[in-house]
Amino acid sequence: MAVSESLAVTCGSPSKNYWRSAITEGIHIALNNEFFENMGLIMLHDRWVEIH
């Protein structure tokens, strides 16, 4: 899903530190679980469930 330009600007120039800006709506839209799965990364929760 694409992030609107105004939302991207607020994510790109945060007045907060990077930990607090990581919980913004724009970051959640752009960097969702599907994004990381497409990169080939594993979900730690899913791996933990497989093991246990």
Domain count, the chain: 1
Enclosing domain of residue 19: 5-51
> Can you give the pLDDT at residue 40?
94
- Residue 50 belongs to what H/E stretch? helix 44-51
- Looking up tokens 């694409």 gives 2
> Can you give the pLDDT at residue 26?
86
Nearest to 27, CA basis, from 52, 3, 48: 3
Sign of the four-CA dihedral 27, 18, 43, 40: positive
The tokens for 30 are 């752009």
Question: Per residue in 1-51, pLDDT tens?
Answer: 688 888 887 777 767 677 777 788 888 888 889 999 999 998 999 899 999
- Residue 28 belongs to what H/E stretch? helix 25-30
**Could you tell me the pTM of the whole model?**
0.62
